[in-house]
Amino acid sequence: MKETDMKDLPKSPTEAQGMLIKSCYEKFGRDVLPIVKEVCKKQGCSLGLKIKEKLPNTRLSTVATAFSKSFDANFVKIIEISDNKFQIQGTKCPFGLENTSRELCEAVMEIDGEYFRTAVDDKIKMTIIKTVAEGDSYCDTLYELEKNRRISN
């Protein structure tokens, strides 16, 4: 590989995955989104099953705390963690999807959505409020347990 190409090398496996996803999206457009979504969902399910085995319980607060340990605190801020709600904001996409599209972000974020649906409850709702993929200055993602499944504190 040429030395000039070295600056384009991924810094992590997640960033490499994002480069592959972005390349497919650039080449095939929206037609690739169902494939990206399905594969990312499977990845999220696999990760959710693994974390579920390691934790003492499957409350949203417990799973969200474990999930948060993989964050770089320089780029991600936890807004709220409870048994019913988890909200995070980040200024950098670990997949490098900045300024691509909301629809690509939503497809890739199936990883996280399925992670929580698998590890906590299949009725977890994920809402992407803001995303750097759409040009926002930060991402804002909310995971909520449906109202009829909420845990009273």
Q: Give me the pLDDT at residue 2, please.
A: 60
Q: pLDDT at residue 54 above 70?
A: yes
Percent pLDDT > 90 in the chain is: 85
Q: pLDDT at residue 3 above 70?
A: no
Is the CB of residue 111 less than 8 Å from the CB of residue 43? yes
Amino acid at 59: R
Mean pLDDT of 43-61: 96
For residue 44, give both structure tokens. Answer: 């999220």
CATH of domain 12-149: 3.30.1380.20
Cα separation, 27 vs 50, whole angstroms: 33
pTM of the full structure: 0.90
Strand partners, 89: 77, 140
Q: pLDDT at residue 1 above 80?
A: no
Q: Give me the pLDDT at residue 35, please.
A: 97
pLDDT tier for residue 152 given thresholds of 50, 70 and 90: low
Instruction: Report H helices in 3-138.
Output: 13-28, 33-54, 60-68, 102-108, 110-119
89-142 per-position pLDDT tens digit: 999 999 999 999 999 999 999 999 999 999 999 999 999 999 999 999 999 999
Q: pLDDT at residue 70 above 90?
A: no
Over the chain, what is the mean pLDDT?
A: 93
